[in-house]
Structure 1
Amino acid sequence: MSSLNERDLNNTRKAQMDLVFFNRVPKVGSQTFMELLRRLSERNNFQFHRDAVQKVETIRLAEDQQQEMAEVISELPEPSVFIKHVCFTNFTKFNLPTPIYLNVVRDPVERVISWFYYVRAPWYFVERKAAFPDLPLPHPGWLKKDFETCVLSGDQECTYTQGVTVEGIGDHRRQSLFFCGHDYECTPFNTVGALERAKFAVEQQYAVVGVLEDLNTTLSVLEKYVPRFFEGVRNIYATSAEYLTKINKNNFKPPVSEHVKDIVRRNFTNEIEFYQFCRQRLHKQYLAAHLPQRIMTGSLN
């Protein structure tokens, strides 16, 4: 790892407005981060905005929808935070000022297991039914599925095939999609093309991509690289950690064996590479911010 330069790793300086766009990946602890941002908005005097709950959440938008969303966000008062489940959207494409892009990732296999049980949790359907009474209830057989049997039986829901595209809300396999963007080339599962596009976006556009498994490092980097919004985040988390770690926790999720996880990992090679790429970048940002200047400008062997 060479030339750890904090300025080179700080994309916050590229932002053209005082606005954070958190296009959150599902099941990466984003509810916890939203609560932190809500509390930080009071402490650091910025506005907090999140997209309304939708009956059918579409994360990949047509170009006119992208532009409409970007225009709405751009018109928010500064400083603000806007949070939405949606793919990376390049504001400059629509001649709009660039926001501060943020997101969080998680081990992709753990994440797909979490999603599998999240959409089957009883409270999930109670909340959805309350918001949208006309939604049909799922089939009992689908609700009773367990992840291990789903994988070992070759069930289509738990078959992760290289290059296959499965559109719709039910397909949350591709964590990299939230960074790759809205183009169709981003949709095939576990492809090199989507991986490289996602890496490029992270490296060139995102101020910080946090890692759920490295929460302390993530909070430290956020506080250092996006201080206008995240100053004091570590103190807020430290005083409320017990509550924050329970947000959206699914007590209905049973353990999954390492054997089954290993089977799934074989088909998640590029998704795992993307996760490791984000993790390495986060650690580089942390080191650059904390190493003495004499070391930062030199070379690490």
Structure 2
Amino acid sequence: MLSRFFSSEWIALASVSLTVFLFIHTQILTARIEEIKQEALTAAAAFSAHENHLSSASQEKSRGDFSGNNVHSNAQEQYSSDQQGGSSSGLQHHHRQYLHPKKKYNATALNNTRNSEKETLFFNRVPKVGSQTLMDLMQRLSIANGFQFHRDKTQKVETIKMTYYEESRLTTMVDMFTPPSVYVKHTCFSNFTRHGYSMPIYMNIVRDPIERVISWFYYIRAPWYIIERKQVFPELPLPHPMWLKKDFESCVLNGDRECMFIPGEYHDGVGDHRRQTMFFCGHDEKCVEFNGEWAMQKAKRNVEKHYAVVGVLEEMDITLKVLENYIPRFFAGASHVYHDNLSSMVKINKNMYKPPVSEQVKNILRQNFTNEIEFYEFCKQRLHMQHAAVTNL
């Protein structure tokens, strides 16, 4: 009993010490960033030339004539134009700029919910897109709207891409939930019909790809994340101090392996979920290719055919409005509940240890995220079209 007491005391002391250490070091990193910015332009030019050589093959591929391109329209051109012009608001255009002038949008044609045969909602959530906030919202709505809420357990290693057998087990489990039900899990898109089941109602959220990888970089270094993981999985070793000391800007500018986002790469060994399109593409090996053309086009087709709503983190009000109108069985009253609890919801997983990252460094990364950015802009335009259809814009 006494040894158990001291063991518990030691763990508590170690946790507090780690938290204090990381907090102090993060403050130092924030100060160092200002010094790094002075060197960024010179280093960025050299690194950019290197990355351009690696990504040229991907950028020169011709676009396939998939239906997703018709929806995408000029959104990517608008984004690129703003970046070249030095605008910092390239991802924050008013939604009218994503819509065809004078065109009326049909809400029924844009609503895939009507294609589902049962009231089971599958949220195959992408990491670092505000999904924790949305899950909290859904749990609150489950009481008012009368549905069951299910989510997967915390995993030591997330199984995102599955084998056919693993995918079959997943689809069988989800199909067994009594409607109306919600299931939430980090995983790639699964076509339930391949395994003999009807399709659920699919939904997801996306985020600016560059902001998402920056968020992930600091998220896994946050003291509370490390402590929570250690509590759930005591056998996990504590991260090396040198790894904890990394800051994102230096990581990119110095060509650190963790921050090299190389187009065409399949298995980088980093495990940072840099492939947002992969969650919509599926479990095919081709979906793993980073910034791949095939993966992007397959992801677009799956969104158009199977997803009721793909929201955008940066535009939560529009996202909630569309969810309320296109999936009312689960999201009726979502905007009201969200804004009534806004002060607590916006703090979920908010990382106070994440320092700012310069536009110079972000622009270096954008050159290698061309297809990831295009898919993000495609999802944003589709969301705006759905919103316009229900608000008569």
Given the two structures, how large is their TM-score scaled by the length of structure 1? 0.95
- Counterparts in 2 of 1:196-235, with a 5 A limit? 196-235=297-336
| Match of residue 298 from structure 1 | none
- Counterparts in 2 of 1:286-297, with a 5 A limit? 286-291=387-392
Gaps of 5+ in 1: 293-301
How far 1:166 sits from its partner (Å)?
Answer: 2.3
CA distance in 2, matches of 1:20, 1:122: 33
How far 1:56 sits from its partner (Å)?
Answer: 1.1
Gaps of 5+ in 2: 1-99
How far 1:3 sits from its partner (Å)?
Answer: 5.4
Q: Percent identity?
A: 57
Q: Runs ≥4 in structure 1, deviation > 3 angstroms?
A: none
Aligned partner of 2:357: which letter?
Answer: V
| Distance 1:55-1:169 versus aligned 2 partners, 3 A rule | farther
- Counterparts in 2 of 1:231-246, with a 5 A limit? 231-246=332-347
Larger Rg over CA atoms: 2
What secondary structure sits across from 1:251 in the alignment?
Answer: coil
Counterpart check, 1:98 vs 2:199: yes
How far 1:242 sits from its partner (Å)?
Answer: 1.1
- Counterparts in 2 of 1:91-240, with a 5 A limit? 91-166=192-267, 170-240=271-341
What secondary structure sits across from 1:21 in the alignment?
Answer: strand
- The number of aligned residues is 292
| Match of residue 367 from structure 2 | 266
Contact (CA 8 Å) 2:104, 2:389: kept in 1 or not?
A: no
How far 1:168 sits from its partner (Å)?
Answer: 5.8
How far 1:64 sits from its partner (Å)?
Answer: 0.5
Choose 161-170 or 222-231, whichever is displaced more.
161-170
Provide, for residues 134-162 of structure 1, a one-character-per-residue CA deviation record: whole Å limited to 9, x for no partner.
Answer: 01111111111000000000111111111
| Match of residue 69 from structure 1 | 170
Given the two structures, how large is their TM-score scaled by the length of structure 2? 0.73
How far 1:4 sits from its partner (Å)?
Answer: 1.5
C-alpha RMSD over aligned residues: 1.1
| Match of residue 296 from structure 1 | none
CA distance in 2, matches of 1:214, 1:139: 37
CA distance in 2, matches of 1:244, 1:183: 35
CA distance in 2, matches of 1:44, 1:288: 24
Provide, for residues 193-229 of structure 1, a one-character-per-residue CA deviation record: whole Å limited to 9, x for no partner.
Answer: 0100000010100000000001000000000000000
Contact (CA 8 Å) 2:125, 2:186: kept in 1 or not?
A: yes
CA distance in 2, matches of 1:155, 1:16: 48
Counterpart check, 1:42 vs 2:143: yes
Which structure's residues are more often helix, by fraction?
2
CA distance in 2, matches of 1:169, 1:100: 32
Contact (CA 8 Å) 1:162, 1:189: kept in 2 or not?
A: yes
Contact (CA 8 Å) 2:216, 2:272: kept in 1 or not?
A: no
| Match of residue 16 from structure 1 | 117
| Distance 1:289-1:168 versus aligned 2 partners, 3 A rule | farther
CA distance in 2, matches of 1:270, 1:262: 15
CA distance in 2, matches of 1:39, 1:71: 27
How far 1:171 sits from its partner (Å)?
Answer: 3.1
